[in-house]
Amino acid sequence: MTGATNLVQHEIVGDVYEPPPPLAPFVPPRTRSAAEEARTLVASAQVGALATLSEDGTPWASMVTYGAMRDGAPVLYVSVLAEHGRNLARAPGASLLVVDGTAQGDPLDAGRVTLAGRARQPSDAEVETVRAAHLAALPGAKAYEAFGDFSFWVLGVERVRWVGGYGRMDSAGAADYAAAEPDPIAPAAPGAVAHLNADHGDALLAIARSLCGYSDATAARATRLDRYGLDLDVETPRGAAPARAGFEEAPLRDPAQLRGATVELARRART
Amino acid sequence: MTGATNLVQHEIVGDVYEPPPPLAPFVPPRTRSAAEEARTLVASAQVGALATLSEDGTPWASMVTYGAMRDGAPVLYVSVLAEHGRNLARAPGASLLVVDGTAQGDPLDAGRVTLAGRARQPSDAEVETVRAAHLAALPGAKAYEAFGDFSFWVLGVERVRWVGGYGRMDSAGAADYAAAEPDPIAPAAPGAVAHLNADHGDALLAIARSLCGYSDATAARATRLDRYGLDLDVETPRGAAPARAGFEEAPLRDPAQLRGATVELARRART
């Protein structure tokens, strides 16, 4: 797996906006892989939508809470009295959708990931590890242990489909998903993006002009931050375009590195 | 369909809290039916989780946006390039999960509904009605009409499972769902609940004592409002309990009636 993003090849029947290209030669900086995006989204939430197979053979969507194992496998705790519990007991094929709850605005531009695979009940040897993974994310789930109809299920992830928003999407396999790390700076990213836009518009413009090839940029706004770099929306007399600048010290390993990494980008843009 | 709620009969293996009963004879006021709850949730959102059947026969969960027809049938607009679009074209059985996005706190106490049925592409005669239903909810979806790979799909609803939170759940059939109305006061309810709790704690306590049978109540907090009445959490020396008071003029037909209906409850509680 690379970090490359594959664009959907839509059949164009009307006017579709084509952003202007950079004016200077530009090597696209590394981005998170689909597996990293998926692990990051899964780590950011405790609620998802589970698809299971109902008795009549049609798919059933239901809300579930989950914690994640160290390899990113979601751990559910569901009642066999609920339709999804009965479904898992009968047909283990299932998938879990997790949507970025922090996204603002157009819902179709929100990040989301589907993890598809097979659900299994933990063996006696692993049940304490599985239980601990669920309760670490959802301490309140202890209350369900008063009910005898709840069981833990581990969704063994076989394939992953990530959609990051418009034109950002890719797939990953089981091994890449299990091996990838959740981005450690993700929890701090929305606040840092807001701060950059509120207080450092000049630095963002310098970055767009010097580091992203948009020497004709007239404005730049931060849209996303990850451990590898900074995404921008850039305004030019030729129209608006997305752009990206990579951190020198990527991948960042701690949110505390975020400030230094963006200061270094601004310094590099101005020299 | 009645408005009654069927409780899941959990198998009890530990300590489970039993709220104290009312001290005075108490007739439970009408609540929204499962069909009304479902129509209200579906009307409140434009984003859901779709379960479709993948080529390998396992269920696939994905995010979709939707508008609703007058009978509550969701209208999707999906690309045949996306997995869910290919799935619907091959196997029309599908379900849509909609979760209450305004719920705070414990995610398992949030309202949600699953609509299960069969998806179909509209006939030439109905395509304009279907398109209008989608675009009324999602004006931005017009942009997708520039792509030839998007089609409208109507999810014909055959069965409905509503979960309102802990101990509040019920099912509904196709006819009840189609005939039910979204609760017209729902958009105003969260604000009105917050206002009652901020400014009218004395009135809520009087309502709990006089109208809900909790004559020993020491505090009461509003938790939900609907067109039929007001839900409370009541504190008593015997423990906490949920309670409900019905509006005299139920069902309300307009958010503008909400203030008068709650004032009337307080007046009745004090006389």
Q: What is the pLDDT of residues B101-154, one digit of tens each?
A: 887 788 888 999 999 999 999 999 999 999 999 999 999 998 888 888 899 999
Region A106-121: what's the mean pLDDT?
Answer: 94
Mean pLDDT of chain B: 93
Whole-number Å distance between alpha carbons of B265 and B269: 6
Helices B201-211 and B189-199 meet at what angle, rounded to 10?
Answer: 100
Region B219-231: what's the mean pLDDT?
Answer: 97
Residue-wise pLDDT for B12-33, tens only, equals: 667 778 899 999 888 889 999 9
pLDDT band, very low/low/confident/very high, at B165 (cuts 50, 70, 90)? confident
CB pair distance less than 8 Å for B82 and A149: no
Whether residue B4 has pLDDT greater than 50: no
Q: Are strands B74-79 and A93-99 parallel, antiparallel or unpaired?
A: unpaired
Residue in chain B lying closest to A12 (CA): B147
Region A231-255: what's the mean pLDDT?
Answer: 97
B248: number of Cβ within 10 Å:
11
The pLDDT, as a whole number, for residue B2 is: 37
Of B58, B88, B161, which to mutate for an interface test with A (greatest number of A Cβ within 10 Å)? B58
Tokens representing A29? 């900086």
Largest CA distance in chain A: 66
A217: number of Cβ within 10 Å:
24
> Measured between CA atoms, how close is A16 to chain B, in angstroms?
6
The pLDDT, as a whole number, for residue A8 is: 52
- Residue A96 φ/ψ region, left for φ over 0, alpha for ψ in the -120 to 50 degree band, beta for the rest: beta
Of B15, B52, B60, B113, which to mutate for an interface test with A (greatest number of A Cβ within 10 Å)? B60
CB pair distance less than 8 Å for B95 and A163: no
Q: How many CA atoms lie within 13 A of B255 on its CB side?
A: 11
Mean pLDDT of chain A: 93
DSSP symbol at B107 = G
CB pair distance less than 8 Å for B59 and A51: yes
> Measured between CA atoms, how close is B248 to chain A, in angstroms?
35
> Measured between CA atoms, how close is B251 to chain A, in angstroms?
30
The pLDDT, as a whole number, for residue B265 is: 97
Whether residue A7 has pLDDT greater than 60: no
Closest CA to B265 of B247, B253, B251: B247
Residue-wise pLDDT for A117-153, tens only, equals: 999 999 999 999 999 999 999 999 988 888 888 999 9
Whole-number Å distance between alpha carbons of A75 and B93: 27
Q: How wide is the angle at C-alpha A74 spanned by C-alphas A71 and A80, nearest 5°?
A: 145
pLDDT band, very low/low/confident/very high, at B8 (cuts 50, 70, 90)? low
- CA A177, distance to chain mean position in Å, is 12
Q: Give percent of chain A with pLDDT exceeding 90.
A: 82
The pLDDT, as a whole number, for residue A9 is: 62
- ipTM for the predicted complex comes to 0.92
Residue in chain A lying closest to B107 (CA): A47
Whether residue B6 has pLDDT greater than 70: no
pLDDT band, very low/low/confident/very high, at A104 (cuts 50, 70, 90)? confident
What pTM value is reported for the model? Answer: 0.92
Contacts with A88 from chain B: Cβ below 8 Å: none
